Amino acid sequence: MQQTKFLLDEKRIPESWYNLVPDLPFQLEPPLNPATREPVGPEAFAPIFPEEIIRQEVTAEPYVPIPEEVREIYALWRPTPLFRARRLEKLLDTPAHIYYKYEGVSPSGSHKPNTAVPQAFYNKQEGVRRLTTETGAGQWGSSLAFACETLGLDCTVYMVKVSYGQKPYRRIMMETYGAEVHASPTDLTQAGRDILEQDPDSPGSLGIAISEAVEDAVKNDDAKYSLGSVLNHVLLHQTVIGQEALEQMELAGEYPDVVVGCVGGGSNFGGIAFPFIRENLKGNKDTRIIGVEPASCPTLTKGRYVYDFGDTAGTTPMMKMYTLGHSFVPSGIHAGGLRYHGDSPIVSALVHEGLVEARAYAQNPTFEAGVAFARAEGIVPAPEVTHAIKATMDLALEAREAGEEKTILFNLCGHGHFDFSAYEQYLAGGLVNLEHSDEEIERAVAGIPG
């Protein structure tokens, strides 16, 4: 029997997270205070993050040890399996070898708990009793709810009101894990009340929900805030994915010629890619690293590499990143986790320096790839990761054309069990591609002050 899955014993859960920053052949540009345009120090984050998280955000250590208690919680689902997609290869009739790392086996169904658990852990260690956060479709909120429950913290989630109504399963999952979930905008915060005063029927937005969650944490001594992507410490925690994958590829007796991940804020992409980028930077390997984004939110492929705000309201420090402008509102595609105007500063710098390639796909071809994948491999993928699947299938078809036995690895960052209404629309022929016109993108990008 040909091998399909490459498993690691839980003793092989990595003992450290890998920090790419000190290995980069260039300096990352620091976050700036928007008023003074001076670099902000770590202390700027003290009202919202615990000390250890702030330390990890700026650390120059190449490896950060994973606390034993975090590894024990990771063991509920880690190491995650690596699959050889033999049935997909056959379907595509390709000489390429396709591998995927499957993060959907976590309790909340995605890679997000990899950072939710350590964030909850460090907060608890520093005496925090409650974490606040925002969530859109609910992947992040349900992961933080799980992590808080596991570590005995309270959890307050501000869920974008339109999603609160449309995605009840994710909301109920958070409540099952004991979290308090509010439809944002609420009347519990000044930010929420201001919005409601202007528009009592506001459907909410991720930007508003962030403002509410941050305000809740800043104004209440028992609480801190937690973010699920973009920042350095989040990507750091996600590197367990790539470290395990490196070991599993060795078990498979292969090394990837290409590593592929979808990119929203950059956390699942960084998680799989950084350990492989390390091998490139050390001169050991020469693997193509490809980030895939939606054509409707083409941050890396059409955005500008400038300083911009991380949130819509413009309240965060400014970060140097690819951005479509912090007021850009991406089309309502189903891959909600990829609808972010900016990108992780590290991932942005890697693209800018040519160490990572970026490509973009429209909505329909990604769902077509997602359905083909589900029919071949069984797992129904989340809409976000269908972007990585589409790129992988294209690469495998190119390998067939070229007659090359390429080895391709992608990160299957989550299952699509809560996304079947999107699949239904696709199967009924009702999905549309939602790219913005070049003019719209140009207008958005031209408006960026940075």
Binding site for its own copies (CB under 8 A): 1-5, 7, 9-11, 68, 71-72, 75-77, 83, 87, 105-109, 146, 149-150, 168-169, 172-173, 175-178, 371, 374-375, 377-380, 417-418, 420-421, 423-424, 427
Q: How far is the CB of 389 from its own copies (least distance, A)?
A: 14
CA 65 to chain CA centroid, Å, is 22
CA distances from 450 to 38, 111, 296, 309 (A): 14, 32, 22, 9
Q: Phi/psi at 4 (nearest 5 deg)?
A: -105, -40
Give dist(CA 357, CA 261) in Å, integer: 11
Give dist(CA 373, CA 361) in Å, integer: 16
Q: Which residues of 255-273 are buried (b: 16+ CB within 10 A; e: fewer)?
A: ebbbbbbbbbbbbbbbbbb
| Residue (39 or 168) nearer to its own copies, CB | 168
- Token digits of residue 431: 């999905």
| Residue (375 or 443) nearer to its own copies, CB | 375
Would you say how long the chain is, in residues?
450
Q: How far is the CB of 333 from its own copies (least distance, A)?
A: 18
| Residue (7 or 432) nearer to its own copies, CB | 7
Give dist(CA 11, CA 18) in Å, integer: 17
Q: How far is the CB of 350 from its own copies (least distance, A)?
A: 33
CA 143 to chain CA centroid, Å, is 12
| Residue (219 or 375) nearer to its own copies, CB | 375
CA 208 to chain CA centroid, Å, is 20
Give dist(CA 365, CA 387) in Å, integer: 9
| Residue (75 or 402) nearer to its own copies, CB | 75
Q: How far is the CB of 168 from its own copies (least distance, A)?
A: 7
Give dist(CA 270, CA 266) in Å, integer: 6
| Residue (146 or 307) nearer to its own copies, CB | 146
Q: How far is the CB of 212 from its own copies (least distance, A)?
A: 23
Q: How far is the CB of 391 from its own copies (least distance, A)?
A: 21
